[in-house]
């Protein structure tokens, strides 16, 4: 039995998972537990003998050293979709701000939220907690599938941005900072995109 079906069987009972379709970890899997509260994690335990036995027997034995884990905190004030309102297909933009730049990124994301809302884009924003360097994860949840990425599907981001904030505001506010401002982002980890499919719903 292949690893993929075994992982799917496991996540059907305990987690959500996505198949990573691009960038560094292409071909890998993104596993999500939650949403949970910090209080819930206090009493979570080890998920029980059934989970541990299945994990070690059908999943862990196939894993290599290319794995990592993080705690992500949902940022309601920066998001346009509820934390538990999942989609089958998503895109994750990982933003790695330099020391002292996190507040700048928050302000930029707050402005972008207004554009996402105007364009009807479902976006969940997370900040990484106690899991290494500062990071924001901007998760676009494609409610209508990857066809939402087709040019012309919705109004261009720049046009909507300037419609809200004024002519030339897109350039004036350095919206391109997400990809080009070396003072804000760690260059080698500035931005990565994961197009993720094959969502397995938690049950």
Which of 113-122, 124-133, 183-192 has maximum average pLDDT? 113-122
Evaluate if residue 118 carries a pLDDT over 90. yes
Helix (H, G, I), strand (E, B) or coil at 181: coil
Q: What is the pLDDT of residues 137-147, one digit of tens each?
A: 899 999 999 89
pLDDT band at 80 (very low <50, low <70, confident <90, very high): very high
> 16-30, 35-49, 57-71, 185-199: lowest mean pLDDT where?
185-199
Evaluate if residue 111 carries a pLDDT over 50. yes
Strands (DSSP E) along 83-156, which ranges?
Answer: 89-95, 123-129, 136-142
* pLDDT for the residue 162: 92
* pLDDT for the residue 186: 58
pLDDT band at 51 (very low <50, low <70, confident <90, very high): confident
Overall pTM > 0.75:
no
Evaluate if residue 156 carries a pLDDT over 90. yes
Phi-psi region of 136 (alpha: psi -120 to 50; beta: other; left: phi over 0): beta
Query: What CATH number has the domain spanning 3-200?
Result: 3.30.70
- Alpha-carbon dihedral 180, 186, 190, 194, rounded to 10 degrees: 180
* pLDDT for the residue 14: 56
The full set of domain ranges for the chain reads 3-200
């Amino acid at each position: 039995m292949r690893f993929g079906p075994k992982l799917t069987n496991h996540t059907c009972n305990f987690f959500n998972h996505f198949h990573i379709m691009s960038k560094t970890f292409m071909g890998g899997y993104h596993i999500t537990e939650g949403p949970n509260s910090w209080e819930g994690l206090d009493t979570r335990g080890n998920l029980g003998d059934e989970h541990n036995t299945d994990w070690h027997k059908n999943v862990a034995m196939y894993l290599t050293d290319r794995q990592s884990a993080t705690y992500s905190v949902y940022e309601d004030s920066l998001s346009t979709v509820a934390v538990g309102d999942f989609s089958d297909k998503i895109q994750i933009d990982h933003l790695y701000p330099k020391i002292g730049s996190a507040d700048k990124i928050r302000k930029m994301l707050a402005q972008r939220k207004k554009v996402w809302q105007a364009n009807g884009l479902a976006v969940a924003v997370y900040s990484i907690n106690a899991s290494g360097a500062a990071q924001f994860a901007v998760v676009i949840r494609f409610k209508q599938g990857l066809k939402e990425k087709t040019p012309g599907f919705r109004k261009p981001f720049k046009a909507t941005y300037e419609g809200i904030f004024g002519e030339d505001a897109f350039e004036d506010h350095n919206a391109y900072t997400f990809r080009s401002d070396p003072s804000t982002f760690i260059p080698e980890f500035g931005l990565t995109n994961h197009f993720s499919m094959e969502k397995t719903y938690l049950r």
